[in-house]
Structure 1
Amino acid sequence: MLNRCISRHTKLPVNLRVASRFYSDGPLGGSGPGGPQDIFIKRERAKEDYYARQQEREQLAHVKEQLKEHKKKLENLENKINNLSK
């Protein structure tokens, strides 16, 4: 009987320490609003937005270059039509 009482008392603090370890906020604080996870999410969102804007800029530059080429072709065709109609 004494053995059981001793084993209960020795096991109880160990379980409490483990439970308190799992329920603690950790060294950086909680993961609530303004916590480290929130900062990580904001940083990732900013990186994704930057990448998307960069891709849009590249696509816009490509489309503008194509537009210039098509305008030149259109101008050449108009000149040919004008020369043939004279």
Structure 2
Amino acid sequence: MLRTQVVKLARAGAAPSIRRSFSISAIRAAEGDTGATRSGGVASGDSWTKREQASETKFIREKEMESLRKLKEKLAQQRKHLDELDKHIQELEGDAGEDPQHIREK
């Protein structure tokens, strides 16, 4: 038995035309198989398919709204920081405009 298997393997190695290429045979899914498209397209889906699509859309929308909320919070923080810097600049300009003796008294 072992001898016959060794002979078959040796012949297969010697003649490349005997070997089969696995890339030639493609797996094709029929309608109803996992991953296959429906014959009428996405619009012809049953209630389960429509519910699943609505759920995915809702999830994506919630994620986008969360990202938008975070961006708005970050923008508000940046505006607050810029307002503080403007106030600080105005204070420095006001101090520079005063006479030097008044600054020493502070």
TM-score interval, smaller chain: 0.5 to 0.7
1:1-86 to structure 2, matched below 5 A, reads: 32=44, 35-86=47-98
Partners of 1:50 and 1:34 lie apart in 2 by 25
Q: Please tell me the root mean square deviation across aligned C-alpha atoms, in Å.
A: 2.0
**Match for 2:55: what amino acid?**
R
Cα deviation per residue 1:14-63 (whole Å; 9 max; x = unaligned)?
A: xxxxxxxx68xxxxxxx847611100110000000000000000011011
Offset of residue 80 of structure 1: 0.6
Identity %: 7
- Normalised by the length of structure 1, the TM-score is 0.60
More helix by share: 1
Determine the C-alpha separation between the residues in 2 that align with 1:38 and 1:32: 9
How high is the TM-score relative to the length of structure 2?
A: 0.49
Q: How many equivalent residue pairs?
A: 58
